[in-house]
Structure 1
Amino acid sequence: MRDESSDPAPRLRVGFLLARRFTLSAFANFVDVLRLAADEGDRSRPIRCSWRVLATSADPVRSSCGIAVTPDEKPGDPTRFDYIVVIGGLIDEIERLSPDYAAFLHRAAQAGVPLVGVCTGAFILHRAGLMNGYRCCVSWFHHDDFLEQFDGLNPVSDRIFVVDRDRLTCSGGASSAHLAAFLVDRHIGRAAAQKSLHIMIIDEAMAADDPQPGLPLELKTDDPLVRRALLMLQQSMDAPPCVAEIAARLQVSRRKLERHFSTSLGMAPSEAFLRIRLAQVRLLLGRPDRTVTQIAAETGFCDASHLIRVFGERVGMTPEAWRREALSARTG
C-alpha cells in the first residue's frame, strides 16, 4: 500500500471563487484537467495538483443550471495558492463583489498571486479594480456587453485565452480546459497536460492565440437588431433560414433588416450569413475527424460539391487544401 503522506507538496495549487450563478461547465472543465493531471490514471488524488473552492460561508453556491457546489474552506491567506481562479456566470447576475472577496483578491494581487478570470470572471476582476492596464479575454458572445459596462478597456474576443503577466483570462466553456492545461504544462509538464485533455476526449491543447469559434471580427456590431439576426443564424447553422425568414422572426421588414446591416456592417445580410458559415467551415476543417461532406451538412450547404465550389470562390483553394496548409502551419 502506497504511503500518501510521503508524497511531495502539489506543484500546482488552485483556489476557486464561484460567482453567483456561475457557469458549471467552465468550472468543471477547469477542475477536471487539474484532477486528471494530479494523479496516475484517473484516480483523482490531489498529489501533483490541489484545488479548493473558497467562500466566506459554508452555504452552497448555485450555478446557472441550478446545480450547487459546496465550498471547501474560507478564503484566508491567498499565498497558499499558486492561482486564484474566479468563475463567472450569467451576465445579468454579476454584482459587485462583497468587501470580503474583493479584499481577498486584492491581497492576492499584492502578494503576487496570479488571478484568473474564467467566463465572465474577467468582468468581476475588472469591477474589483484588478484589470486596469491588462488585456483580458472575453467570449465573442459577451464582447459588446463588456464594452457597455467597462469604458476604456479593450477586451480580446478573438482568442480562447489571454495571458498578460499575472492576469489570465479565458472565454469560458471548453476554453477553460485549455487554460487549465496551459497551467498544468507550465507547472507539471506537457505530458500531464496532454493526458488530461486526451482523457476528456479533447484532441490537443489549444494555444492562447488560437481563435474562438463564433462570429468573425468583421461582424462585430452594436446594433441590437443585427446582433439578434446573426445569433439566430448561428443557432440554426445546419439549416440556415433565408433573410426573409429571419426578418419575419424578428418582426421587421426585410428592407429594414437590410438597411440595418448596411449601416452597421456595410454588407447585405446574405453576405454576413455566408461569412459566418464559412468561418464555421474553417473551424471544423481544423478537426481531422470531420469529412468535407459532414462539414457541408453541419454548415447548411447542399452537399460537398456546393461547399467546395463556394469555398474555392471565396478562399481560392479547396477545403482539403486549406486543411493541409492549416495543419502544416500548426505543426511546422
Structure 2
Amino acid sequence: MTKRVALVVYPGFQMISLAAMSVFEIANFGRDTPLYEVLTVSVEGGLVKDSAGISVATETIGRRHYDTMLVAGATYVVPTEPDLVDALKRFAPNVRRIGSICSGAFVLADAGLLEGRRATTHWGQASALRQQHPDVVVEEDRIYVNDGSIWTSAGMTAGIDLALALVEADYGSEIARETSRLLVVHYRRTGGQSQFSTLSTLEPSSDRVRAALAYAREHLREPLSVEQLAAQVHWSARHFSREFTLQTGLTPAKAIEKLRLEAAQALLEAGEASIARVADVTGFGDEERMRRAFVRTLGKPPQALLREARERMRA
C-alpha cells in the first residue's frame, strides 16, 4: 500500500528541507505501484514563502490521513505559530510516525511531542533546544535520532539521511540503497555519525590547549593522563585541567574519550573487521570499555556500526 508522506512547512522555512522529500519521490522510480505519495502541507494551505522569499504551493494540513509527517527546518529558530502547534497536537496521535528536519525539532518540542524523548537538531541550535525544552534529551552529536515513533535529524542535508533511514525502515536496505544510488548520495550516514569533528568544535583559545589536543589525537593508544598532557605543554596538571575545561567545556578525560570514539568510528565505518584491534589502537584498551562508550554516546555498540559498514560496501 502506498504510504502518504507530508512535509509540514510554515513561513520562513528553509528550502533545503524539500530535498528530503526527493528521497521518497525517487524511491518510487520504476515501480508499478508507488511506494510513497509525497505532499507539502501547511496550516492554511496555499502559497508559503521560504526564508529566501520563494513560494511553495501547499495543501491544508488537515485534508488527508498521513502515514508519516515531517516538519521542515528554518535557517533561524522562530517562535512556532500557535495554529501549527494546535494542528500537530491534533494530528500526531493519528500519524504512524512524525519527525523533523533541522530546527523543526523546536516545532515538535513546542507541540509537546518530544517530552521525555531523545532528539537532535542542527549542532548550532542544540544548546537553545536544551535550554528551551529541558524535558527533551538533546543528542547534538547525531545525524539523526529515532525514539519510537519520533524521528529527528540534524541540520540541512541530514534530512536526506533521515529520509533514507525511513525508506529502509519501511522497505528494507536494498530499496534504500537503490534510492541513494539514484540520488548520488552515500548510503547512508549512520544515525550515530558525528555532525562535526571533535577538534573543530572544541576551539580552545590557548595555543597550549590546542597543542595538547593535537598531541592526544596522535597518541590515542597511550594512557593520556592529565599529567601526561600537562607535561607536553609545560603546565602543572592542576592548571592544565582547569584551563582545558574552561576553554573547551569538557574535562580532559571526556575530550579524550570523544577523540577515541571518533577515531574508532572512522575505523569501523572504513570496514576494520576486528573490534579488539580498534579498541587497542584507539586507546580504549578492551572491547567492553569501548562498547560502553559507544552505547552511552552513540546509542549503539561498535558491532552495529561494523554491520552497517559492511552493508554499504556490498551496495
TM-score, normalisation: structure 1? 0.62
Deviations 1:127-184 (A, max 9, x none): 1222223222233333212122112322122332222222111113333222212222
Matched, 1:71 2:62: no
Q: Percent identity?
A: 20
Moved more, 47-56 or 151-160: 151-160
8 A Cα contact 2:7 2:39, kept in partner: yes
User: What is the CA-CA distance between 1:121 and the residue it aligns to?
Assistant: 1.1
1:122 partner SS: helix
User: What is the CA-CA distance between 1:119 and the residue it aligns to?
Assistant: 0.7
Deviations 1:218-262 (A, max 9, x none): x9xxxxxxxxx94668xxxxxxx9828x9xxxxxxxx99996533
8 A Cα contact 2:3 2:36, kept in partner: yes
Moved more, 13-22 or 30-39: 13-22
User: What is the CA-CA distance between 1:288 and the residue it aligns to?
Assistant: 5.3
Matched, 1:211 2:193: yes
Where do 1:221-232 residues align within 5 Å? 230=201
Partner of 2:292: none
Q: 1:147 to 1:77 in 2, by over 3 A?
A: same
In the alignment, the residues of structure 2 paired with residue 265 and residue 194 of structure 1 have an alpha-carbon distance, to the nearest angstrom, of 38
User: What is the CA-CA distance between 1:72 and the residue it aligns to?
Assistant: 2.7
Q: 1:283 to 1:213 in 2, by over 3 A?
A: farther
In the alignment, the residues of structure 2 paired with residue 53 and residue 114 of structure 1 have an alpha-carbon distance, to the nearest angstrom, of 16
Q: 1:170 to 1:312 in 2, by over 3 A?
A: same
Q: 1:214 to 1:283 in 2, by over 3 A?
A: farther
User: What is the CA-CA distance between 1:69 and the residue it aligns to?
Assistant: 4.2
Partner of 2:40: 53
8 A Cα contact 2:28 2:34, kept in partner: yes
Where do 1:1-332 residues align within 5 Å? 11-28=2-19, 30-40=20-30, 47-55=34-42, 56-63=44-51, 66=52, 68-79=54-65, 81-91=66-76, 93-99=77-83, 101-208=84-191, 210-216=192-198, 230=201, 243=207, 261-263=244-246, 264-267=249-252, 327=306, 330-331=309-310
Q: 1:123 to 1:284 in 2, by over 3 A?
A: same
Query: What amino acid is aligned across from residue 73 of structure 1 in structure 2?
Result: E
In the alignment, the residues of structure 1 paired with residue 115 and residue 158 of structure 2 have an alpha-carbon distance, to the nearest angstrom, of 23
What count of residue pairs does the alignment treat as equivalent? Answer: 257
8 A Cα contact 1:18 1:61, kept in partner: no
In the alignment, the residues of structure 2 paired with residue 59 and residue 36 of structure 1 have an alpha-carbon distance, to the nearest angstrom, of 24
Deviations 1:26-72 (A, max 9, x none): 431x112111101229xxx9932121111214233213xx2624123
8 A Cα contact 1:20 1:89, kept in partner: no
TM-score, normalisation: structure 2? 0.65
Query: What amino acid is aligned across from residue 190 of structure 1 in structure 2?
Result: S
Moved more, 199-208 or 153-162: 199-208
In the alignment, the residues of structure 2 paired with residue 140 and residue 154 of structure 1 have an alpha-carbon distance, to the nearest angstrom, of 14
1:213 partner SS: coil
1:186 partner SS: helix
Query: What amino acid is aligned across from residue 98 of structure 1 in structure 2?
Result: P
2:195 partner SS: coil
Moved more, 139-148 or 278-287: 278-287
8 A Cα contact 2:3 2:37, kept in partner: yes
TM-align CA RMSD: 4.1
Structure 1: tracts of 5 or more residues without a match: 1-9, 220-228, 234-240, 247-254, 290-310, 317-324
Q: 1:46 to 1:329 in 2, by over 3 A?
A: closer
